[in-house]
Amino acid sequence: MVIDRKVQNILPSEQYGTYFSLTGYSMLFMILLDLGLTNFNNRQVAIDNKNYDTNFWSITNAKILLTIAFFALAFIFGLVLKFHSNDFLILGLLCTNQAILSFNNFFRSNISAIHKFKTDAILSVIDRLFVILSLGAIIWTSLLPVKLTLVSFIISQTIGLIITFSLSIYCIIKYFGIPRFCFNFSKLYDIIYQSLPFALIIAFMTLYTRIDSVFILKLIPNGREQSGIYAMAYRLLDAAAIIGTLLAGQLFPLFSSNLSDKSKIYSIVKWSSAISLIPVLAATFICFLYGNEIMQLLYPEKYNNLSGYIFSILIWCVPGMFLINIFGTLLTSAAHLKKIIYLSVIACVLNIAGNLLFINNYGLIAVAVTAVITQLFFGIMCLVLSRKLF
């Protein structure tokens, strides 16, 4: 968070706005890297550890093929959208990072499935720790003969992800042993088929949370600069999303392995809600009241009233995000996937329609309000469905 903020303050708004928009764009295709395989594997291994050995190479081979498709589609649509030639270098680096991250998440899904949460938590922050140390050395010292540029910022993330990749492989071999190599096309097809519902959920959720960056870039005049302003306001949401993702990663195997005991499920929901939702609501209200002051403190060189106003709106996404992380995870672990898919489709329609209808007249305000409505709708509906089913 500190490093991202410093980088955002140092780099020109247009450059960081380009980075923010292209990151959001690359994430629209990220579903191709996984197709729900990671969540499927996490649930399967949580139910029976023996599924690790039968799933590992089939999923790994599938992800290699999917990575090729991911790069191809991201660049083809980039050409269709007429990205600048310089954008493709940044896009290539970002796609590489997304691909490595996808493999890291798959490897870690095996570790969290057997409740090695401490190891999983450490692995989840190693790449960010490397970025903090390396960029901190570049920004505040002369230890490294490297200048801070957008490219060096992204490459530092790449190196951190590669370190996590290596350590994740070491950990799964330590806990599970070396998996027997095998390639069974019918097994591969069966795994992908079973994971498709997970893939649809992730695809629609990624779409409604990341397509706004593309709308800003392409539909608002001076879109790159406006993306930079929106990125400033969005930064704390990204930080909250990381915490929420860690929470969901802990809850998913807990829910999956205790579905037959409703009292245990109720207990897990109760403590997870208490430790997350109450602080989140308090923090959201404080951020809403002091949005301008927070933005001015975080970005003294680039602050303007619009960024503070947008932040005060966007921060209300956070309660919805945490409701999804708790109750959406519960519904997913219990295999109520059709209900989640329907909700995610409605959320996508709300988000896309809201942006297309109002972005020309209201700009970033329309984008922010639409994001809040979408997140709160999805989160509240997950809560309502969970109460009915459990």
Helix and strand totals (H; E) in the chain: 16, 0
Q: Is 318 or 81 the better-scoring residue by pLDDT?
A: 318
pLDDT band for 319, please (50, 70, 90 cuts).
Answer: very high
Contacts 24+ apart (CB under 8 A), 377-381: 377/320, 377/346, 377/347, 377/350, 378/205, 378/208, 378/320, 378/323, 378/324, 378/328, 378/343, 378/344, 378/347, 379/319, 379/320, 379/321, 379/322, 379/323, 379/324, 379/327, 379/328, 380/320, 380/323, 381/343
The answer to whether the beta carbons of residues 3 and 135 sit under 8 Å apart is yes
Max avg pLDDT among 3-7, 28-32, 77-81, 240-244: 77-81
The Cα-based distances of 301 to 8, 170, 250 in angstroms read: 10, 43, 38
Q: Is 349 or 146 the better-scoring residue by pLDDT?
A: 349
Q: Give the position of tokens 């957008």.
A: 150
pTM of the entire predicted model: 0.70
Mean pLDDT, range 118-142, rounded to an integer: 86
- Phi and psi at 213, nearest 5°, equal -65, -35
Number of CB atoms found within 10 A of residue 219's CB:
15
Give the range among 14-18, 178-182, 209-213, 340-344 with minimum mean pLDDT. Answer: 178-182
Q: How far apart are CA 255 and CA 43, in angstroms?
A: 9
Percent of the chain exceeding pLDDT 90 equals 28
Give the range among 8-22, 150-164, 181-195 with minimum mean pLDDT. Answer: 181-195
Q: How far apart are CA 278 and CA 286, in angstroms?
A: 13
> What's the pLDDT at 2?
63
Q: Is 145 or 79 the better-scoring residue by pLDDT?
A: 79
Percent of the chain exceeding pLDDT 70 equals 97
301 pLDDT more than 80 = no
pLDDT tens figures, 155-176:
999 999 999 999 999 998 888 8
The rounded mean pLDDT for the chain is: 85
